[in-house]
A and B are shown apart, each in its own frame.
Chain A
Amino acid sequence: MVNMLWLIMIVTGIAFALASGRVAELAPAIFSSAELAVELIIGLVGVMGFWLGLAKLIQRSGLLQGFIRLLRPVVRALFPSVPANHPATGVILMNITANLLGLGNAATPFGLRAMHYLQELNPRPKEASDAMCTFMALNTACITLVPTMVIAIRTAQGSRAPGEIIGTTLVSTLVATTVAVILDYFFRRLRGRR
């Protein structure tokens, strides 16, 4: 997928440059892009370090567990087909909480384990179950409280207020999640339960 996309981007670009006579601008663009990548990564280390440090503290102090208790009723309501004491509930909660706190890397392992448990409950192993679709709706919409990576890049690029997009991000992520949950509900109704 990404391989194809990358190839298409580069080939299209070069073909376009040939057609519009801008070939001379290609090499400088390539090297300045490469330099930008380095600048960016260096800036990233500092700010990501701060957030990952805080993330570790949340895990060790049990604050993460607190968040999970808080969200339990929400998960019960969203996944009616998952039995109350099934281990899927726990990992789904861990996944959502990690996403919420902007810990994308921590969220993925929990998410994969959640899919594994949901597959055990799935009567048609080649086809996504209702619960899986709902879980994917939550993950692709991705509710985020603190978009750590974006803040890091803004800081690296000299923003006067790198965190000023936290509020706007929260609004648009809430809208996306609401839309995802509602659409998921309607699609499920439309196509019949499975």
Chain B
Amino acid sequence: MLARALLVFSDWLVPVLLVLILIHAYWKRVKVFEIFAEGAKEALTLAGSIFPYLLAMLIAIGILRASGALEFLSELLAPLLAFLGIPKEVLPMALLRPLSGSGALGVMTTLIAEYGPDSLIGRIASTMQGSTETTFYVLAVYFGSVGITSYRHALWVGLLSDLAAFLTAVWVCRLVFS
């Protein structure tokens, strides 16, 4: 029931959002076509600014995979992962996500390319990527900007909520997609 509802929600969200946003904007006398194009133009700059980081991370991940280091780590943690019901392929994703956004994006892409976007592993990786932030980066940037050096409990809260997101991602994907 929940599973069905989530799938319907996913199918409907984009078209419904599109229609509502467009009609509302037109009604507010926004030049919908021109403003849409203005926003869309930013995608080129954005893609350009992501590319070098993504390239660097994908190369590092490629090396780690080809060397067998990732496999080794996954085998090492296999019993714990099996206990939690986490497929061992997504482990690198969980390890990298709090440390590096581009790193996790790289792992997600490799997993999707290898297992397919519509496989369980691809779906779990997508859900993990979308549902958490790069905790260390966010804290460093935000606290750094005002010169704060003592983070108090913020780091623990961030990391524990990442963990909660990962476990939920695995559980909810298994429930909905199988």
Contact = CB atoms under 8 A, between A and B. Distances in A.
Given A22-B68, A127-B152, A61 B157 contact: no
Contact of B51 (A37, A116, A137): A37
B interface, how many residues as a size bin? 35 or more
A158 interface: yes
A167 B58 contact: no
A5 B53 CA distance: 13
Contacts of B5: 167
A191 B17 CA distance: 43
Interface string B2-31: 000111011101100110011011001010
Contacts of A108: 141
B89 interface: no
A176 B162 contact: yes
B-side interface mostly: helix
Interface string A4-48: 011001101111110010100110111011101110110011101
B13 A136 contact: no
B172 A133 contact: no
Contact of A56 (B10, B22, B38): B38
A135 B153 CA distance: 12
A165 interface: yes
B127 A165 contact: yes
B156 A183 contact: yes
A13 B67 contact: yes
Contacts of A50: 40
Q: Which 8 A-B pairs have the closest CB atoms?
A: A56-B39, A147-B130, A167-B6, A33-B62, A159-B117, A140-B158, A29-B66, A13-B63
Interface of B: 5-7, 9-11, 13-14, 17-18, 21-22, 24-25, 28, 30, 32, 35-44, 46-47, 50-51, 54-69, 72, 99-100, 102-103, 105, 108-110, 112-113, 116-118, 122-123, 126-133, 135-143, 145-154, 156-158, 160-162, 164-166, 168-169, 172-173, 176-177
